[in-house]
Amino acid sequence: MTERLKKIRSIAAEKKLDALLLTGEVSRFYATGLRTSAGIALITPEETVFITDFRYIEAAKAKLGGNFSVEMSKPGRKQSAIVAEYIPKAKRIGVEGDILTLNAAKGWKKALGDLGLKGVKFLSVEDSLHTLRAVKTQTELAAMRKAQRIAERALADVLDGILRPGVTERDICAEIVYRMLKYGAERTSFDPIVVSGPNGSLPHGEPSDRAIRRGDFVTMDIGCVADGYCSDMTRTVAVGEATDEMRKVYRTVLAAQAAGIAVAKAGVAGREIDAAARAVITGAGYGDYFGHGFGHGVGLEVHEGPNASPSEERALPAGAVISAEPGIYLPGKFGVRIEDVVVLTETGCVNLTDRKSVV
């Protein structure tokens, strides 16, 4: 049994559960290393079972046979029937409370009850799963670095002659996506953001048919997935000469990012990291134009815990990966955001972004 499965199983022991029923796609991948659009990972003190349908059964048997009993659901043998076979006396089952809907939970309880499992209680374990996922292993970090290198290579291509006056935001977005896939990405980790000129004041603006003009700032927020893990980065570049105001805002954001990174380490609360960066932006007179947090967790999902935001009071653990992305957004003018991704250590943090490869 893998070390990860041991950690997941420890949740059941800690909470005195008879089983864990993982129905969410991300948790299934975390437990198995196999990405499917349908299936269940059932983990008990004695068994690890993966249940899926015909579409994935061959892949599941090939990949998981050493650590999981693999079962196929079908019209005459539903998932609930297979679960009941493995845990006929279960009373306390851990589920992902943020994934399993109220209606789905009712359906599961009825189906299990009809199969003889009366009085089953579902208990939420998502906080425990998120805590496990927050601390990245070296294998996970290697996947994130791989994804980051792919995104950086794609961005470098765009900066090398493709990004120029007359090209639209949508054109740039398409080029970035194409190149990330060409260089080995499984998919994008989110819909890329490419905004220019006054559109840059929209932190999550969508690429439009606006043609880039000389003198514009262009903000590109991109990321991809490699080996199941996400990258995330943002760069803001000037096309042609930047004005004095543009230079001031850019330098302020860059200094704010450096201030946040300087205090980012294990044991520091997320809000303290945010506060260090926010103080720089506020001191420069732009406090009203920085409306989001300094950063968020990155991993199997591009937005996951823990966060480096004003509301995050918890101390962040060693091995957590967070984005470092302060920004200033001036309505009707432009916006600037600069984003790297760092992994926290006991003494500081390590930047997973190769800053030499792109601006």
pLDDT digits (tens, 9 = 90+) for 36-76: 999 999 999 989 999 999 999 999 999 998 889 999 999 99
Number of domains in the chain: 2
pLDDT value at residue 1: 47
Q: Is residue 356 part of a domain?
A: no
Q: Is residue 282 part of a domain?
A: yes
Whether residue 8 sits in one domain with residue 150: no
Q: What is the mean pLDDT of the chain?
A: 96
Whether residue 157 sits in one domain with residue 87: no
356 has a pLDDT exceeding 80: no
Q: Which has the higher per-residue pLDDT, 136 or 4?
A: 136
Give the pLDDT confidence of 164-222 residue by residue, as tens digits: 999 999 999 999 999 999 999 999 999 999 999 999 999 999 999 999 999 999 999 99
Half-sphere exposure of 108 (CA within 13 A, CB side): 20
273 has a pLDDT exceeding 90: yes
Q: Band of the pLDDT at 3, cuts 50, 70, 90?
A: confident
Could you tell me the CATH number of the domain that includes residue 70?
Answer: 3.40.350.10
What is the pTM (predicted TM-score) of this model?
A: 0.93
* Separation CA 216–CA 89 (nearest Å): 65
* Separation CA 344–CA 21 (nearest Å): 31
Q: Band of the pLDDT at 359, cuts 50, 70, 90?
A: low
112-121, 201-210, 268-277: range with lowest mean pLDDT:
112-121
Range of the domain at 91: 3-133
pLDDT value at residue 357: 60
pLDDT value at residue 65: 81
Q: Band of the pLDDT at 358, cuts 50, 70, 90?
A: low
Q: 223 CB contacts (<8 Å, ≥6 apart)?
A: 147, 151, 188, 189, 190, 192, 230, 231, 232, 233, 302
Over residues 9-25, the mean pLDDT reads 95
pLDDT value at residue 64: 93
Whether residue 144 sits in one domain with residue 243: yes
Q: Among residues 113, 133, 153, which one ends one of the domains?
A: 133
Q: Report how far Cα 81 is from the mean position of its chain's Cα atoms.
A: 33
With a pLDDT cut of 70, the percent of the chain lying above it is: 99
- Phi then psi for residue 216, to 5 deg, are -80, 150
Whether residue 152 sits in one domain with residue 78: no
Fill in the DSSP letter of residue 285: T
Q: Is residue 357 part of a domain?
A: no
